[in-house]
Amino acid sequence: MDNFDYLKNIDGEMWFVENDRDNLKVAYRIRDIISSVKSPFQQIDIIDTYDFGRCLVLDGVMQTNEMDGYIYNEMISHVPLVTHPSPKDVLIIGGGDCGAASEITKYRDLQKIDVVEIDELVVKECIKHIPSVAGNAPHDKRVNFIFDDGIEFVRNRREMYDVIIIDSSDPVGPAEDLFSEKFYIDAKNCLRPDGILVCQSESPIFYKDILQRTYGFLCNHFSIVRTYKAVVPSYPGGFWSFTIASQKYDPLNADTERLAKNTKYINEEIFKSSFNLPNFMKEMLELE
Ligand code: SAM
């Protein structure tokens, strides 16, 4: 435990202390460290916390957990799946916890769900230790795990998709270029002409620059680009953004009756209201 500066003994109790930009630390009391392994890409810890249950932590950063992981996973998955009227083939870049893929399996008409994750060990650890987050993905025959760098995968364009979901970790280490304009151009080349791309675009409070840049890059290449929001308590600041882009389909005109019914967070009202942005976000995205 002493090997990692984010796992601390404070007054005889174990804590996971996430360091966000040196100015904010978020601490979780730990019941147990379930597993701790190092892959060629990152340090992977599965910890059991008192409030959030089992959590996936990569290089000291919270990725998902049993308590609120479904909020992020539902919002990044169902919104594009419902905005596209008839998706068949879906590509997820990243998403090693399998939560987004599991949400997508709720759409029976889909034919193929390719998950391109750079780190096979993340997938193995999550299936083994957090099966409630990995959900149905490991058991659904339409889900194919491809262990590859998402940047290389889209650059070498092998197939075309209706929906691409960029479910990446923060823009450091292997995920850094998943936030670059070049990557979005390559990803667009893997979309059918009426395809949809969605990405997590970070906190509009603490990472305003990343959201603005991501939104701007997508506006350079897609005619319809919209940012939407959700509250995810375990992400710093709690307030999180996603950005969706298409040449054809506007999520504001989506047939929300197509939403899968067995969800815990998203419903038709949440789908629609998530696109209502507060003034500070409209200003930063130069809307209206
Ligand atoms: N929901 C999470 C969040 O926003 O914190 C992210 C989910 S998922 C765990 C992120 C995954 O992206 C990680 O498993 C990581 O290994 C993967 N990843 C990072 N860089 C990648 C790359 N270049 N290609 C494919 N996967 C990548």
List pLDDT tens digits, range 1-36.
546 899 999 999 999 999 988 899 999 999 999 999
Could you give the residue numbers annotated as active site? 167
Expressed in angstroms and rounded, the spacing between residue 119 Cα and the centre of ligand 1 is 8
Helix (H, G, I), strand (E, B) or coil at 209: helix
Distance 12 CA to ligand 1 centre (A): 33
User: Which pLDDT score, from 0 to 100, does residue 22 have?
Assistant: 84
Q: Is the pLDDT of residue 56 over 90?
A: yes
Q: Are 35 and 125 in contact (CB under 8 A)?
A: yes
Residue with the smallest CA separation from ligand 1 atom 8 is 95
Report CA(44)–ligand 1 centroid distance (Å): 12
**Domains defined along the chain, listed by start:** 7-65 (2.30.140.10), 69-284 (3.40.50.150)
Q: How far apart are CA 17 and CA 6, in angstroms?
A: 5
What does the pLDDT average to over 242-260?
A: 98
- Select from 221, 173, 233, 168 the least CA-distant residue to 193: 221
* Pocket lining: 83 vs ligand 1, CB cutoff 6 Å: no
Which residues, listed in sequence order, are joined to residue 37 by a DSSP beta bridge? 44
